[in-house]
Amino acid sequence: MADLTDQDEVTLKLLNTLRDDADATQRTIAGELGIALGLTNAYLKRCIKKGLIKVGQAPANRLKYYLTPQGFMEKSRLTAEFLTQSFNLFRYAREETARLYQHCNDQGWERIVLIGASDFSEIAIFGVQDASLDVAVFDRKNSGMTSFCGAPVIFELKNAATDFDAAIICDYTDAPAAYEDALKIFPPERVLVPSILDVIDENEDEDKRAPSTKSEAASL
């Protein structure tokens, strides 16, 4: 994938901002993006025209901006491009896997399956030594590997619920599909998603999708 253009990077920041706070005003959004208010308005109009954002009415005659399913897909695509830039991936994956591993430790989970054999999971494996966890990798592409960066590889998830305590999504090129794979085996609270990746829960009301408890990478 090619590096993000300046326009794509601003669009990704905009989608991240609205995913976190649908109530954000244009002035707040401009501050988050570090661009002028008029340019922020232009980006919002462009995203609305492309079907990435929809507009709703809020109290006090204010507007609310929601990401559409198409907006989530575009955010995932831009995120994947962002993460293919090696420095961004290494910095982000190292910090995020440490956070997720700490959560596993706090929950008493010891056996973790990484969904997807990727650069992200490679960095996750290197960082597992500090967390005292056992990890394996689910190879969604079924490439025939028996190990990945020293971690065992499994080829199906049907027994994962008994063999593992939780799953971490590491396939950043197709996170929604990886998430759906994991949900077939694990309850939602045991499927951990890196904060920069967005997945859509089909059972979630669309109007409630914009606010998020996830903290996006502020340095995007």
Tracing tokens 């939780």 back to the chain, one arrives at 166
Q: Residue 34 half-sphere exposure, CB side, CA atoms within 13 Å?
A: 8
For range 173-198, the mean pLDDT? 88
DSSP string, 139-176: -TT----SEETTEEEES--TTHHHH-SEEEE--TTSHH
Q: What are phi and psi of 192, to 5 degrees?
A: -95, 130
Question: What is the pLDDT, as a whole number, of residue 206?
Answer: 44
Range of lowest pLDDT (6-15, 38-47, 87-96, 175-184): 87-96
Please, what is the average pLDDT of the chain?
82
Question: What is the pLDDT, as a whole number, of residue 90?
Answer: 79
Task: Tell me the residue length of the chain.
Answer: 220
Question: What is the pLDDT, as a whole number, of residue 208?
Answer: 38
- Checking if the pLDDT of 204 tops 50, the result is no
One-letter amino acid at 136 equals: A
For the entire predicted model, the pTM comes to 0.65
Based on C-alpha coordinates, what's the Rg of the chain?
A: 18
DSSP string, 37-68: HHHHHHHHHHHHHTTSEEEEEETTTEEEEEE-
Range of lowest pLDDT (6-15, 79-88, 138-147): 79-88
Domains plus CATH for the chain? 6-81 (1.10.10.10), 93-192 (3.40.50.720)
- Checking if the pLDDT of 3 tops 80, the result is no
Range of lowest pLDDT (29-33, 79-83, 110-114): 79-83
The pair of structure tokens assigned to 97 is 């896997």
Per the CB < 8 A criterion, the answer to whether 125 and 71 are in contact is no
For range 152-167, the mean pLDDT? 91
Between residues 208 and 182, the one the model is more confident about: 182
The pair of structure tokens assigned to 41 is 């308005």
pLDDT band at 199 (very low <50, low <70, confident <90, very high): low
For range 164-177, the mean pLDDT? 89
One-letter amino acid at 67 equals: L
Tracing tokens 């960082």 back to the chain, one arrives at 127
